[in-house]
Structure 1
Amino acid sequence: MCSNIQEDDVAIVMVPFPAQGHLNQLLQLSCLISSSYDLPVYYVGSAIHNRQARVRANALNPSDIAKIHFHDIPTPEFASPPPDFNAMSKFPSQLQPSWDASMLLRESIASFLRDISSKSRRVVVVHDSLMSYNVQDVSSLHNAESFLFNCISVFTLYCLISLSMGMPVKLEEELLKKLPSIEGTLTDEIKNLGASQSPYMDIRSGDIHNTSKVIEGEFLDLLAQVPSKQVKKQWAIGPILPIKLDCVSNKNDVCLEWLNKQPPRSVLYVSFGTTTSFSDREIKELAMGLEQSKQRFL
């Protein structure tokens, strides 16, 4: 659905990257801003990804989601191949066609921003780092500014920036030894997509992180010391997880019921996120290994 742009004092525009972990975090932030500050929030993306964000939302109050103005942008058709379980890399490269298509949204997003800018005193654009190219025209609007929202941990961001700049990673020796290699974790295509965003990051006013100083204070300080144009003024506003579980679809799930009965710090939580693909055989082997470990796990 495409929202009608209203006349607002301040308008918030969210521009997520079309991958589930990115879509979900910006939707959570959208609901937080909309419900806490009663500001209009426009969630901008392709129709299929806007729908995906809504359908897969969990623990968010449906009435909060209903307040968000989802603005659908026409997107060129793209291929949607199945995962290749035999690929050398587990990275979900089957999503690359949709990401390539998302890089063609600049003109449509610019048109939307111009329209909303003409009807608002101030426009605040919060965008994913991988959508920097698409929101570059915010710099031409006198009453708009943009902020980059990082969906990855500050620890990961700091390490990636340091390594890309050939700088030493300033971590404790024991932690440094445990730092895994990033070789083979990303495809050349996604690396190139990330690199292509760099020239358009200077226009942003600052960076927003889905973390807190309590959780990652050490790494926020390290990131602030990096002599790079990639690092701007920072705000740690997270975790932005919903604080109430009234709307969790599985709140009565046996997993949570079981978890509440376990001793503190006794359960392993195992998650591979959305950036990998496993075959049924691999999933079964992982499950059997966990079961045979005799450790409590989810």
Structure 2
Amino acid sequence: MRSGKKVSSRRSKSSEKKRGKTRRKLKVSARSGGRKKSARSSVIAVIITIVVILSATAVLVWLGLDIAGGMLFADNERFTIKTLVIKNGGPTVREFITGKKQISEGVNMFSFDIMDVRDEFLSRAPNYRSMEISRHLPDTLIVEVFERVPVVRVGSRSLVADREGYTFVSRSAPPTLPYLRKYDGPVRPGAQVTGMATAALELLEACDDPRMGIDIKIIEVDKSEYMNVDLVNGKRVKINWDNMGERTEKSAEELHYKLQKLAMVLRSEDSADAKVIDLTYENEVYAQ
């Protein structure tokens, strides 16, 4: 019985020692974790401080440059416009520059943003392709505009499109301009043609070469597989080509190949009485 009590007493002391060790280990672990958290917080605080300082520095530099720029340019009487040159565009451009934007002789040439002026003008006048504004220090400002060149009529007789497909109103376009028929896309000034109409523009550009001898009167773009093209000489041509409308080098090669065939057929006496020339087959040409 006594020996049993002794065993029990030893186990109890041993257990207490183990628990003590465990408690000491837990205390050490907790202290270590606290130091790690504190270190991470310090690092984060340093990073935030650096970011704030850099941001504040950037703002101050920007403000300094802005103020310096104003003192050197926008508020400098040396850069007052004495000569304003407006090339092309006529009264429309001059009224916009001197009237709407109030840019004229006596105004500082750095008191306005060139890109803002250009973008606003082009959004108001879709018949112009681009505007260039250049400052020639110390006192000359040159404004030059470039009009779009119509290559085809679209929709109403006064609406035309240029090589890039942008539509605009032109009452001075030649009456012999080809006509884009059966186009169901957006038809309004400033819009850009889509779908098979882009292939029609590619065709017109390729036929612009006088050596081809191909004069187009009407292009129908209501089919997705091919286009019906009416020539000035009264013949109708059905035509398609690989990658049509993509405006790539491959597409241009395929189209040129088809047009060479068409030019040969048009020069041939055998096709003199033909009404329709079919170029929708890969290696054959049919005339009827």
Q: TM-score, normalising length from structure 1?
A: 0.18
- Which fold has the larger relative contact order, with Cα–Cα distance below 8 Å and residues 6 or more apart in sequence? 1
Question: Which is greater in Rg?
Answer: 2
